[in-house]
Amino acid sequence: MSLRYITRFAHYDAKTVEEATALLNKYGEKAKPIAGGTALMDILKKKYLPTPEAIVNLKTIPGLDQVTEDGGAIKIGALTKLVDLAESSVIKSKCPMIADAVNLISSPQLRNMGTVGGNLCQQVRCWYYVKADFFCYRKGGPVCYQPGGDNRYGAILQQKVCNAVIASDLATTFTALNASLKVEGPGGSRDVPIKDFYVTLGNTLKQGEIITWITIPEAPSKGSFKKFKIRKTWDFAVASAAVATTSKGTIAALGGVAPVVVSGTPDEVTSALGSATPLSMNKYKVQIAKTILKEAMA
C-alpha cells in the first residue's frame, strides 16, 4: 500500500556550498540535498527509501546554474536546469550531442524543473526497488528480486548483486565525453572522473558531499547520442549509446544495460556486448544495444 503523504522534515535553503555541505554532514545519512525535486519528491511520497529528517535546498546557492567555456573545456554547473542545458549556446555550438541527449529525457515539464546534478544522482528505476514493500540488496536487504521475477528491463552486463540499470542519460553522454565531476564536501573538494563515479549500488559521494560542476575537457570533433525507448513520448532508455571523438581518441558509452555506464573504445564496448549475460526475459536488449551503438558510431 502506498501512503502518498509526506512525512515531516526540516528544510534548509543553503546560501553557499559550504553551508549546504555542513548541514548535510551534520545530519549524516538522515539528510538529502534537493535540487529540482523531480526525483526526490517521488521518493518522499512513495516512501520506498527512508524519509530524511532534513532536506537541504541547493537551488538557493547562486552561480551553479551556468554553462561556460573555459579555454577548450566546457563547464556545466550542477544546478543548470535540463532545459537550459539543451538551450545553451555553448552546448548547441560546441557539443550538440548533449542537447540531443537532454531532449530525449523525460518531458518538457520535468526538464524545466530537473537539474544536471539531480539527473546524475537519480536512483535506479527497478520496479521492485521503487516499491516500499520490497527490501532488496540495493536497500541493504538480503535478495535481488529480478532474477526470479520480472526482469524485462534489467541489466545484460556487469550484474553483480544488483540487476538494475543506470537511468541517467547524462551519465552515458558525459562518460563518452570523458567528463569529470567537481565534488565538494566537508573535507574540501575533489575531481572525480565520471567513469569512476558510479559503482554497482550507487555512486562514490561521501557523507556531506555534493556535485557542483561538470567539466568536459575538450569539445568533440564528432559526437552522437542515440537512445532506444519503448514509448515515443517520455521514457527511460532500454539502451542508449554515446560516442565522442576528440584529439585523445574515441570513447563509446552504453546506458540502460548495466548498473553502471559501460564504456571504453568502440571495439571494447562492442566486444563487451558480444559476451553479454542477459537475464531470462531480456535477451532482446542485446541486439537493441548492438544496433544503437552502431547508430551512434556511424
- Shorter beta-carbon distance to ligand SF4: residue 160 or 190: 160
Task: Work out whether 162 is an interface residue with ligand SF4 (CB under 6 A).
Answer: yes
State the binding partner of 145 from ligand SF4, ligand FAD, none, CB within 5 to 8 A by kind.
ligand SF4
Stretch binding ligand FAD (CB under 6 A), from 37-45, 67-75, 137-145, 267-275: 37-45
Q: Site size for ligand SF4, by CB under 6 A? A: 13
Burial of 62 (0-12, 13-18, 19+ CB in 10 A): exposed
Q: Please state, as a whole number, how many other Cβ atoms lie within 10 Å of the Cβ of residue 29.
A: 10
The packing angle between helices 284-297 and 266-274, to 10°, is 170
Q: Could you tell me how far CA 281 lies from the centroid of its own chain?
A: 24
- Shorter beta-carbon distance to ligand SF4: residue 128 or 197: 128
154 contacts 145 by C-beta, under 8 angstroms: no
Residues 6+ apart with CB under 8 A from 294: none
Task: Work out whether 181 is an interface residue with ligand FAD (CB under 6 A).
Answer: no
Task: Work out whether 35 is an interface residue with ligand FAD (CB under 6 A).
Answer: yes
Task: Work out whether 36 is an interface residue with ligand FAD (CB under 6 A).
Answer: yes
Q: Please state, as a whole number, how many other Cβ atoms lie within 10 Å of the Cβ of residue 215.
A: 18
Please list the helix, strand and coil fractions of the chain in percent, rounded to the nearest 5, in that order.
Answer: 30, 25, 45
Burial of 218 (0-12, 13-18, 19+ CB in 10 A): middle
Q: What is the DSSP string of 146-179?
A: STTS--TTS-SS--SS-------HHHHHHHHTT-
State the binding partner of 255 from ligand SF4, ligand FAD, none, CB within 5 to 8 A by kind.
none
Residue 255 pairs in a beta bridge with 240
State the binding partner of 20 from ligand FAD, ligand SF4, none, CB within 5 to 8 A by kind.
none
Task: Work out whether 164 is an interface residue with ligand SF4 (CB under 6 A).
Answer: yes
Least distance CB 123 / ligand SF4 (angstroms): 9
Q: Which set of grid coordinates corresponds to residue 268?
A: 571494447
- For strands 10-13 and 54-57, give the pairing: parallel
27 contacts 52 by C-beta, under 8 angstroms: yes
**Pattern 72-101, ligand FAD, x by CB under 6 A:** ------x---x-------------------
Least distance CB 159 / ligand SF4 (angstroms): 8
Question: Which residue from 21, 80, 88, 122 is in contact with ligand FAD, where contact means CB under 6 A?
Answer: 122
Go through 246-285 and write b for each residue having 16 or more CB atoms within 10 A of its CB, e for each that does not: beeebbbbbbbbbbbbbbbebeebbebbeebebbeebeeb
Task: Work out whether 242 is an interface residue with ligand FAD (CB under 6 A).
Answer: no
- Shorter beta-carbon distance to ligand FAD: residue 35 or 262: 35
Site for ligand FAD in 202-241 (CB under 6 A): 210-211, 234, 236
**Pattern 109-148, ligand SF4, x by CB under 6 A:** ---------------x-x-xx------xxx-----xxx--
**Interface residue list for ligand FAD (CB under 6 A):** 32-40, 58, 78, 82, 105-106, 110, 113-115, 117-119, 121-122, 167-169, 210-211, 234, 236
**Interface residue list for ligand SF4 (CB under 6 A):** 124, 126, 128-129, 136-138, 144-146, 162-164
